[in-house]
């Protein structure tokens, strides 16, 4: 009996791992996220495969700008894939300088998805300081773009840092599993990165796979409004 249970458990694990390379059933809106690691992307080919949205890396830390961001940002607009940009956050660095790095790199327009704070490292910084710095980045970026940012994180960091402190923010959860992310009862995830070994024509190598927790219309509603976009552009200029 023990051997039988072990075999069944192994089969379930293998099936789960295999699913992480394929699109999940039961979701209407699918997307990807990329950075310079994917090098040059053929967005015309990507656009033929029911990719509804894409998040792309814009910045990291105080000074780094992804060298593929500008091209990817323009190409997503051209092929009419809903686009969003993210900043990889380092808790050891100034939140103000990191926000400034993102703002001077990313111009957002009508329909673009909210900015994303990518929180996946703590660098042994104290919890209170991490929470303060995350809030500072979020506040500065929200004031500039006139829209509430999204927080990207994983289950472990969500429960330790995000759950009790940032419940009013949209959550993009990384959980490489066929089981949906676990959240607060009164809150729910907006985006779910369920796999990091996906295959998409037009992109060499593996790519992260995501779904949106809603319809295409609801995804559209998350984007910058015309008034917000105009206000941001005027402030930026």
Active site residues: 33, 120
Tokens of residue 232, six digits: 């941001």
Q: Show Cβ contacts of residue 31 under 8 Å, excluding neighbours closer than 6 positions.
A: 51, 52, 53, 54, 55, 82, 191, 210, 211, 212
User: If you count them, how many residues does the chain have?
Assistant: 237
Residue 233's nearest CA partner among 144, 149, 164 is: 144
Q: Parallel, antiparallel, or unpaired: how do β-strands 116-118 and 150-154 relate?
A: parallel
CA distances from 183 to 27, 97, 151, 180 (A): 18, 31, 13, 9
């Amino acid at each position: 009996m023990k051997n039988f249970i072990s075999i069944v458990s192994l089969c379930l694990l293998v099936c789960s791992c295999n699913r992480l390379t394929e699109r999940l059933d039961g979701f209407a809106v699918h997307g990807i996220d990329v950075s310079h690691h994917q090098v040059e992307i053929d967005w015309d080919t990507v656009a033929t495969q029911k990719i509804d949205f894409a998040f792309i890396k814009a910045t990291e830390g105080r000074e780094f700008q992804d060298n593929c961001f500008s091209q990817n940002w323009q190409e997503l607009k051209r092929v009419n894939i809903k686009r969003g940009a993210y900043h990889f956050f380092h808790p050891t660095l100034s939140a103000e300088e990191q926000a400034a790095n993102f703002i001077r790199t990313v111009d957002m327009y009508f329909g673009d998805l909210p900015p994303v704070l990518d929180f996946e490292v703590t660098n042994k910084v104290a919890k209170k300081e991490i929470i303060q710095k995350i809030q500072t980045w979020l506040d500065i970026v929200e004031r500039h773009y006139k829209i509430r940012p999204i927080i990207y994180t994983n289950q472990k960091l969500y429960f330790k840092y995000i759950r009790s402190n940032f419940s009013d923010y949209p959550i993009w959860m990384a959980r490489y599993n066929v089981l949906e992310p676990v959240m607060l009862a009164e809150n729910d995830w907006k985006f779910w990165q369920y796999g990091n070994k996906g295959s998409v024509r037009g992109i060499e190598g593996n790519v992260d796979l995501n779904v949106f927790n809603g319809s295409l219309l609801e995804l559209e509603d998350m984007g910058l409004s015309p008034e917000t976009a105009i206000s941001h552009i005027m402030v930026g200029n």
